[in-house]
Structure 1
Amino acid sequence: MNHSDLNGFFRLSLQRALLGKVTENIRGVIASLDENNILLTFYYDGAITEEDKENASEIETEVIADFDEEFTIDTSVKRFDYPQPIKLDNGFLVYLRKE
């Protein structure tokens, strides 16, 4: 699979994994794919609960299940309260809440 096909596949995998999983307190999700390394960052508004962490873990599992065993995935769950602007340093926005 070439690089552009892999990026498209990655984006579709993320969209599928997020279906039915986006909660009202998720402000944004940023993802990146660098060679065989996947990075997911979830930004939450307010205190992060164990349920929030479990939800992010389920999304992570859905994504990594679509890739071969040579891929790794790292997921971060961060509190980032509104109105702080979410800045895109690396990767791309998968989800951004309307605020």
Structure 2
Amino acid sequence: MENFNLRTTLLLTIQFALLHEITPNIRGITCGWDESKIMINFYFDGEFTEEEKESMECIATEVIASIPTLKMDVECRRIDAPESLIPCKLLDWVYLRKE
């Protein structure tokens, strides 16, 4: 898939998959990609539950269903505010909480 089309498809797919999934402790969501895989990283403020982690996995499942030719790599990490998320950015931010 052409890089621009992949970027557009990926961002729109993630945005759609995030509907009704954002919890107050999600600080940021970033994504990246290369020729073989998509990476989505979710950053939480404070502890996150197993249910929240499963919800993020479901988001990734929706994304991979739209782009089945690539592998998926998902990471959920705790990075408490006010620690900066800027160094954690992959290629694009999908979501950033106002802080």
TM-score (norm: length of structure 2): 0.91
The one-character-per-residue Cα deviations of 1:1-47 (angstroms, maximum 9, x if unpaired) are 42211211111111111111111010000101111310010000111
Give me the TM-score of the superposition, normalised by structure 1: 0.91
Percent of aligned positions with the same letter in both sequences? 41
Matched residue of 1:65: which SS? helix
Between the two proteins, the alignment pairs up a number of residues equal to 98
Greater helix share, structure number: 2
After TM superposition, give the deviation of residue 80 of structure 1 in Å: 0.4
User: Runs ≥4 in structure 1, deviation > 6 angstroms?
Assistant: none
Cα deviation code 1:36-80 (max 9, x no counterpart): 310010000111211111111111111111012x31001000000
Matching residue of 2:52:
52
Residue in structure 1 matched with residue 78 of structure 2 by the alignment: 79
Cα RMSD of the aligned pairs, angstroms, is 1.2
* SS in structure 2 of the partner of residue 17 of structure 1: helix
Distance 1:90 1:23 in 2: 21
